[in-house]
Structure 1
Amino acid sequence: MVPLFIPKSSGNMPQHIKDKINLHHFIDISVRLTTEKDSSKLLDDILQVIMSIANSDAGTIYSITDNKQLKFETVINESLDLYLGGRLGKPVDFPNIDLFIDGKENKTAIVAHAVNSGEVINIPDVYAALPFDMSAARAMDARTGYRTQSMLTIPLKDHADDIIGVIQLINVKDDENNNIPFSEELVTLVRSFASLGAISLTNSALIKDMEELFATFAEAIAMAIDEKSPHTGGHCKRVPALTLMLADAVHLIDKGPLATFKMSDAERHELDIAGWLHDCGKIATPDHVMEKSTKLETIFDRIKFIDAKFEIISRDLKIAYQQKIISAMKKNKPIEVLQFERLLDTELKQLALDRALLQRVNVGGEFLGEEEQTHIQRISTQYQLKINGEKIPLLSDNEVENLMIRRGTLTQGERDIMKRHMDITKNILDILPFPKHLSNVSEYALGHHEKLDGTGYPRGLTKEQMSVPARLMAIADIFEALSAVDRPYKKAKPVSECLHILGSMVNQNHLDADIFAVFIESEVYKHYINEYAKPEQLDEVDLDNLPGYSPIR
C-alpha cells in the first residue's frame, strides 16, 4: 500500500489540536476541489483523510454503474496492508453489488440499502446486523483472520440530491486499538468530509458529461450533414481521423523544423473536436449546390431537358425536309429529292454530334478547352425550336453559363455559395462559449481553407498567423477531398496524383512544406488510404520528382 501521509487522530490528543488538524484537512481538500483534475486521486485522498480523522482501520469507495450496481473503486485495509483500486492500487476483483434483485430493492446488502434509502447506516457490530447479509464479510474474515465489527456507510449525494456513490468505513479504533462504535459526533464530522467526496464525484461527472455532450454534438452535426449529403457527411467524419493521424506523426517527428511540436491528450482532443466541426456551416448550404454532380444539375439534371429539346429540333428538321422532299417528288425532281435527303442526313449527324458533345461536357471533367467552349457558343446560337408558335434558342443563358464551366461542375456563383459555408461555420463557432481547454477549436477548424500567402478564406491569414494544427488540417482536408471515393461529381484519384496536387500547392505557398514532408515520410497517406479509401489507389509515387517535397533534415 502507498498511503497518503496523514497523522492518525488520537484519543489523548488535546481536542483543540484535533480540531485544528481536521480544519486543516477540510480546507486543504476544499482548495484542491478547484485545482485537482484527477478525481480518482482526490477521492483516494478524501477517503484516507476520513479514515484518519475517524481513526478507522478500513474504508471503501463505491460508485454506481449505469446498470444499477455498486462498483468497488477503492478498498483500503491497514491491518491487512490492503490497497486495491484507486490511483495506485491493484485492480479490484470483487463482484459488483446489485441495487435491485428481481426488480425489488436489495435490502440485504448494507451499501445497497444505503443507496436505495438515502440513509446513513451506523452499525456497532455487523455480525449482529440483521437483516443484512454479512456472509461475504464473514467469509473474508474467515480467510484473513480479520474481524469486521463497527461499520459506517454514508451515501454520497450530488447537487440534485441524487446518490452517486458510497463511502464506507470499518472498525473505528480507541486508544488501545480496540474496535469501538462510531459516535454520533464522529458521524457528523465524517459526513462533512464525505460531502467533499460527493462534490468531487459530481464535478468529475459533470465535466465528463459536458465533454461527452459537446463531442457528441459535434458528431451529430456531421450526422445531420450526412442526412442531406452523404459524401459531405463522410468528409466530415474522415477529416478528423486524417487530421489526428497527421498530428500524431508531427508529434512524433524528432528532426526538422517541427521536432519541437508536441501535443498533450487534451490538445489532441481539442483538435479532434475542431476536425468534427470544421465544415459545420455546410448544414446551411443548399442541397442542389452541395450535391451538384453535373454542370446542368439543379433539382434534376437538365441535360435530360436539353435532350428533349434536341428531339424536338430533330423532329422539326425531319418534318421540314420531308415537306421539301414531297414537294420535289410532286414536281418530279429526283435530283432535288436526293439533295434534300443528303442535307437532312448531314444535319441530323451534326445534331447528334452536338448533342453528344453537350452530354460529355455536362459531366464536368478537369478542364474545358477553348475549342469546346467555342462549340458550345455555336450550338447555343445555331439551333432554335418553336414552342406555342414562339421560337426559343436550344440553350438558355443559364445553361450556356453552366456548360461553359472550365473545371468541375460549379459556376462562380455556386462556388461563392459553397465558400460561404466557412462564414456560416465561423458564425456558429463564434457564438459557442468554448471553455478554456477548447479555446483553440475555432482557430483550428477555420484554418483549413486558409493559405500561407494570405489568399485563403474566411480570414485571409498568413503562415505566421496560423498554428501548426490549423496548417496540418488544411492538408488533411484537401487530401481527403482528392482521394475520396464517394464524390458524385468526380472519380477518386490515385495517390500519386493527390500528392502531386498537394505538392504543387506547397510550391504556390498555399500549404506548409514542413508538414507536407512529414505527411510523406511518415506515410500517413498510406495508412489513411488503407483504412478509409481503396487500396488500389496506392500507386507508385516518385518522391524524387514530387513537387513541394524536400526530405526532412
Structure 2
Amino acid sequence: MDALNRIKFLEDRLHRLSEIGMALSTEKNTDRLFEMILEEAKAITRADGQTLYSMNKDGNLEFEIMRNDTMNIDMGGTSGIEIPYYPVKLWIDKQTPNKQNVSAYVALAQKTVNIHDAYEEEGFDFEGTKNFDEKSGYRSKSFLTVPLKNHENEIIGVVQLINARNDHDEVISFNEEMQEQLESLASQGAVALTNKRLVEELKTLFEAFIKLIATAIDKKSEYTGGHCNRVPVITMMLADAVAEMTEGKYKNFSMNEDERYELYIAGWLHDCGKVATPPHVVDKGTKLETIFDRIELVKTRMELLKRDAEIAFLKRQLNGQASDNFDDEFKETIRQIEENMNFLENCNVGGEFMKQNLQERVKSIGEQQVHLYGTDQNFLSNEEMANLNIPKGTLLPEEREIINDHIVITIEML
C-alpha cells in the first residue's frame, strides 16, 4: 500500500471509528450494542470468530455473544440462542487468580493479549480450544483479547477475536494496527455501555423514588390505599387493549417503547400532588370528621340534655310539683332527644343526595337553645350544621377544592 492509499485508508478508518462512536452512544438495546462492537471489530480485523464477555454480579466473565463465520455459529445477543457455556471464573479460589485462561488474565491484568498461534503459546491453557478444534475440524490460531474498561478504569467486559484474515481469506496474526484500532473501539464501546447502564440505574432510582411517593400517599389513607399502585397497572392494560384493536377509530393506534414508558411513569405520578393534601381531608369518611369524628361531641351534648331532663324531673318530684302525667312527659323528652341523635348520626354518613326537608330538620335541631357549659347557646355550631347539611358526600365545597387542588400541585411538582 503506497503512502497515498495509506493516508486514504487511515482517514476512512478514523471516519468509521467516529461513526461507530456516535452509533454506540445512541443505541439503547444492550444486546444490539454488544453486536455493534463485534461487527465493527470484525470489519477492522476480518476476524473469523468473535466473542464478547461481560462482568456479571459474581465477578466472573459471562458469555454475551459468540460468533464464528466458518462454523456458522451465532449465539447470544439478539439471536435468541442461549450460549450453553459456564461463565469464565477470574479466581480459581479466594487466593488464586485464574491466569491460565486468556480472557480471565486480560480481565485481571487489565491489558490486551495478542497471541500469534495458540498451539505454540506456552503462557496460557488452550486445552479446551484444542479439544474443540479436534472435534470440529476447525483450527484456532491467532487470538486478540482486549479488556473493556469504564470511566473508573474498572473491567466491565472482554472482547476476544479469533483468526484474523487477509484479503485472500488466509488466517493471519493480528498486527499492531489492528490491536490499536480494536483497543480504541473497546474504549468507545465501554463508555457507551457504561453510559447506558448509568442511565438504566438512574431510571431504576427514579422509579424507586416515585414508587416511594406513591406508597407514602397510599399509606396516608385507608380509603384510597393501593390506588396509586393500581393505576399504572390498569393504565398499561388499557393501552394494550387499545393497541390490539383492529377496527374503529383506534385501529391505527400504537405506542413505541419510549411512549409506553412515559405512560407508565405518568400512571405512577398522576396523584403525586396528594402528598401535600391534609390527611383529615383525604380521610374524611363522615361529615363531621376532622382528626376525629365530632359526632361523638354531639352525642355528649345529647347525654347532657338527657341528664338535665332527668334532673328537672327529679326536682319536680321532690318539690311535689310533678303532674300526674309527668312520667310520660319525661319519657317523651328522652325519646325526642334520642330520636334527634339517631337522625344526626344518619346525616353524618355521606350519601348521594340529602333532601331539603332533612337539611331543614338539621338546622332546626341545631338552632335549639340549650344551656351548656354555663351559657345559653345553639345546640350545633354553624360549622357543624354546614357539615351535617352537605348534600352529597362528606366534603364541604372548600374541602373539595383542597382535594382538587392536588391536580395543580401535581402539575407544579412535575
TM-score (norm 1): 0.68
CA contact (8 A) 2:286 2:394 kept: yes
Q: Does 1:311 align with 2:296?
A: no
* Cα distance in 2 between the residues matched to 1:24 and 1:311: 92
Q: How does 1:67-82 map to 2 (within 5 A)?
A: 67-82=58-73
1:337 Cα deviation after fit: 3.9
SS in 2 for 1:344: helix
- Is the Cα–Cα contact under 8 Å of residues 324 and 340 in structure 1 kept in the other structure? no
* Matches of 2:125 and 2:76, distance apart in 1: 24
Indicate the residue corresponding to 2:331 in structure 1.
Answer: 345
Q: Distance in 1 between matches of 2:343 and 2:401?
A: 28
SS at match of 2:78: coil
The Cα shift of 1:304 comes to 1.5
Superposed displacement of residue 111, structure 1:
2.4
- 2:287 is the counterpart of 1:295: yes
In structure 2, give the amino acid aligned to 1:368.
Answer: M
Equivalent residue, structure 1, for 2:224: 232
Shift of the alpha carbon at 1:204? 2.5
Match of 1:378 among 351, 364, 372: 364
Query: How many angstroms does 1:234 deviate by?
Result: 1.2
* Counterpart pick for 1:356 among 333, 342, 349: 342
Query: Contact 2:369–2:376 at 8 Å: present in 1 too?
Result: no
Q: 1:247 to 1:51 in 2, by over 3 A?
A: closer
Q: Which moved more, 1:87-96 or 1:100-109?
A: 100-109
Q: Kindly indicate whether residue 82 of structure 2 is the aligned counterpart of residue 97 of structure 1.
A: no
Deviations 1:230-272 (A, max 9, x none): 4434111112222222222222223333333322232222111
Task: Give the SS at the match of 1:364.
Answer: coil
Aligned positions of 1:213-292 closer than 5 A: 213-292=205-284
Match of 2:128 in 1: 136
**8 A contact 1:141–1:147 mirrored in 2:** yes
* Deviation at residue 173 of structure 1 after TM alignment: 4.1
Counterpart for residue 480 of structure 1? none
Aligned AA (2:384): E
Say what the alpha-carbon RMSD is for the aligned residues. 2.7
**Which residue of the partner structure matches residue 197 of structure 1?**
189
Residue aligning to 2:402: 417
Whether the 8 Å CA contact 2:89–2:98 is kept in 1: the answer is no
Alignment of 1:9-20 (within 5 A): 15-16=6-7, 18-20=9-11
Inter-partner Cα distance in structure 2 for 1:396 and 1:104: 81
Query: Cα deviation per residue 1:193-240 (whole Å; 9 max; x = unaligned)?
Result: 222221331233233233333333332221121232244341111122
2:361 maps to 1:369: no
Tell me which moved more, 196-205 or 108-117.
108-117
| C-alpha contact (below 8 Å) 1:312/1:385 kept by paired residues | no
C-alpha spacing 1:231/1:386, structure 2 compared with 1 (3 Å): closer
Please tell me whether the aligned partners of residues 325 and 340 of structure 1 are also in contact (alpha carbons under 8 angstroms).
no
Q: CA deviation at 1:53?
A: 2.0
**Aligned partners of 1:122 and 1:385: how far apart in 2?**
101
Task: Say which is worse superposed, 361-370 or 95-104, in terms of deviation.
Answer: 95-104
For residues 398-432 of structure 1, the C-alpha deviation after alignment (integer angstroms, 9 at most, x for no partner) is 22121111111111111111111011101011xxx
Q: Distance in 2 between matches of 1:23 and 1:232?
A: 60
* Cα gap change, 1:48 to 1:399, in 2 (>3 Å): same
Residues 76-100 of structure 1, C-alpha deviation per residue, up to 9 Å, x if partnerless? 2123222222334633222222345
Contact 1:376 1:404 in 2 (8 A): yes
**Aligned runs of 1:153-552 on 2, under 5 Å?**
153-173=145-165, 179-328=171-320, 336-382=322-368, 384-387=370-373, 389-429=374-414
Q: Which moved more, 1:88-97 or 1:352-361?
A: 88-97
Q: State the AA in 1 paired with 2:42.
A: M
Q: What TM-score, normalized by structure 2, do the two folds share? A: 0.89
Task: Output the CA distance in 1 between the equivalents of 2:175 and 2:394.
Answer: 81
The 3-state SS of whatever aligns with 1:165 is strand
Aligned counterparts of 1:346 and 1:359: Cα–Cα separation in 2: 20
The one-letter amino acid of 2:413's match is I
Conserved? CA contact 2:21–2:188, under 8 Å: yes
The 3-state SS of whatever aligns with 2:367 is helix
The whole-number CA distance in structure 1 between the counterparts of 2:295 and 2:277 is 23
Structure 1 residues 142 and 248, CA gap change in structure 2 (3 angstroms): same
Shift of 1:72: 1.4
Percent identity for Structure 1 against Structure 2: 38
Instruction: Indicate conservation of the 8 Å contact 2:47/2:165, yes or no.
Output: yes
Conservation of the 8 A alpha-carbon contact between 2:348 and 2:388:
yes
Structure 1 gap segments, 5+ residues each: 1-9, 430-553
Q: Which residue identity is paired with 1:229?
A: S
Is residue 2:32 matched to residue 1:59? Answer: no
In the alignment, the residues of structure 1 paired with residue 178 and residue 281 of structure 2 have an alpha-carbon distance, to the nearest angstrom, of: 71
